[in-house]
Amino acid sequence: METKRWNCKEGEERIAPLYLKEEVSMISTEDYALYTIDINYLRYLYSIDKEVYYNPSYKTRIKPFVGIITGIQNNEYFIPLTSAKPKHKKWRNVSSSHFLVYETIRKNIDHIIVNDDIYKKGSKEEEIIHVLSVLDIKKMIPLVQNCYEKIDIENINDKKFQSLLKKELDFCKKHKKKILKKVENFYTTQVKNNTVKFASCNFALLEKAMEDYKKEKE
């Protein structure tokens, strides 16, 4: 698979994924990488389930749809990373359906120049959390082969964006066991109970759509 280079303008909206290309309980740190998803495949899944993250301008205006990939029930799933927003200040760091991706800063929040960055108080005194993005488990989607490309982080011209991707990847490596457990639990709960939570993708529906997409491409 070719590695794709991304040159993104500073300040643009973006959604990003991480990829773990093994069974959930068999993933090693070396398998982590950041990938982007084919826009046509995203559009197809969105036509089936409107909870799938998709915007027609992903291809031209928005920074790449990025995230991590993991193996679930013989399928590969993409888990998107979404840009940090003001509403995330009120979110818990971890829930059954998401992880806040963050770095810890040791300074008083009153002394931080916020700009467009998102900060919240940490669990310890004088500990500040800088929210980088959100790993949105409830929005993960099944993948077909050849619908994703690895991002060559080292060759990104935008140094601020490059730094962000490196921090996101490091966070996911550090917390990989917790992430994979949450992913496994969320998927299993939906499939076993046949109940789709609010704002969540419908995994059974999308897996059927994925199979139909494969047949169309044969």
Domains delineated in the chain: 34-216 (3.10.129.130)
**Residue owning tokens 């998102």:** 118
Whether the per-residue pLDDT at 80 is higher than 50: the answer is: yes
Q: Is 137 exposed, middle or buried (0-12, 13-18, 19+ CB in 10 A)?
A: buried
Contact predicate 186/135, CB 8 Å? no
Residues in CB range of 1: below 8 A, 6 or more apart = 146, 149, 150
Enter the tokens of residue 108.
Answer: 């008083």
| C-alpha–C-alpha distance, residues 195 and 198, integer Å | 10
Distances (CA, A) of 206 to 45, 64, 180: 7, 21, 20
Percent of the chain with pLDDT over 90: 59
pLDDT digits (tens, 9 = 90+) for 194-212: 999 999 999 999 999 999 9
Q: What is the pLDDT of residues 89-140, one digit of tens each?
A: 999 999 999 999 999 987 665 555 556 889 888 887 778 899 999 999 999 9
